[in-house]
Amino acid sequence: MTQADVTEIDPNRPAPFPRAHFLSAADLNPATATELLDLADTYATLNRAGAAPLDLMRGRTVVNLFFENSTRTSASFEIAAKRLGAEVVTMPVAASSVKKGETLIDTAVTLNAMRPDVLVVRHAASGAAALLSQKVGCAVVNAGDGRHEHPTQALLDLLTLRRAFGDVTSLTVAICGDVAHSRVARSNVALLQMMGARVRLVGPPTLIPGDADRWGCEVFHDMREGLAGCDVVMMLRLQLERMEGALIPSTREYFRFWGLDREKLTWAAPGAKVMHPGPMNRGVEIDSDVADDLSVSLIQEQVEMGVAARMAVLASLSARTEAAQ
Ligand code: NCD
């Protein structure tokens, strides 16, 4: 579907989400992912036009339950839900009973008893969202579980790429840096490969997962070789909070070999674009000079598309529950 056809999609009549929950990129297939992207494109257009909130989720409640820090993801789920007309409760977990020792399951079951329609969960443990989905009666969206998955990030990245390049099937995407600790990398590899793109992993051996050969990606331990011919350079944050022991000599040394700057970007294909899920460590994995140059950087666009992609997910999950009622 081209951008021109997108206007024919009715933003008020989303196709039902293919599953009861959105836990993993593998919950989608090329057809359902494309349907979500088309819907998200219409929401992006409405958002840019400053349109009034839709009525699609009027009377529905979305609960944001973030056990890990978040700026972009939590805010964009909240804005997305409000633009669809839903009520949103963002749980300040730091001030909740979790600090009194209540478990993840107890917290979720308690919130579930208040009958929300969607629970958006971020947790440090891999598998947390899947576990919750078995304990609650509402739809669960995984907003990041440990180093495992972050499927809405992969969807918004795909939306950003489709808008920038049109066709994603011919793209070569280099995912660079701390792949080992990255849920963004895992979800992106799955979704990009599903859509036909080629994906490379580029980073020092200590930051590339031991089982990377089974991911179906080419692996490079040299930045120049890894970036050669790439259309997209997706940088990842050094996720120090998940590292056990010193996996890099120093952040200065890391920047010298692995930090994306103007010179290293010339190693990629002409016209290559730069992405980063945020939050960025400027001067560690990316230089401000590249990150802030709108002629190459898609980073702000990623943030904007985060709202549209999450609107598409929430709207189609609601359409599914409505169809089941
Ligand atoms: C990412 C995350 O939390 O996994 N950030 C995000 O959601 N935008 C990446 C990161 O924390 O580095």
Q: How far is the CA of 279 from the centre of ligand 1 (A)?
A: 7
Residue 55, pLDDT score: 96
Integer Cα distance of 302 and 157 in angstroms: 6
- What mean pLDDT is reported for the chain? 93
Taking Cα atoms as reference points, which of 86, 107, 80 lies closest to residue 95? 107
Which pLDDT belongs to residue 1? 47
- Give the distance (Å) from ligand 1 centre to CA of residue 68: 10
Report whether residue 124 contacts ligand 1, using a CB cutoff of 6 Å: no
Q: What is the mean pLDDT of each run of 10 residues along the chain (325 residues)?
A: 59 95 98 98 97 96 92 95 97 69 80 93 92 93 97 98 97 98 98 98 96 94 98 95 82 95 98 97 97 98 98 97 80
SS3 124: coil
pLDDT for the residue numbered 199: 98
Residue 159 CB neighbours (<10 A): 26
- The per-residue pLDDT for 167 is 93
pLDDT score at 95:
63
* 278 in contact with ligand 1, CB cutoff 6 A: yes
Please state, in angstroms and rounded to a whole number, the distance separating the CA atoms of residues 101 and 229: 51
- CA–centroid distance, 277 to ligand 1, in Å, is 6
Q: State which ligand 1 atom lies nearest to the alpha carbon of 73.
A: 7
**97 close to 107: Cβ distance less than 8 angstroms:** yes
**Long-range contacts for 100-109 (Cβ within 8 Å, ≥24 apart)?**
104/67, 104/128, 104/131, 104/132, 105/131, 105/132, 105/135, 107/65, 108/65, 108/132, 108/135, 108/136, 109/135, 109/136
CA 67 / ligand 1 centre spacing (Å): 13
d(CA 143, CA 3): 28
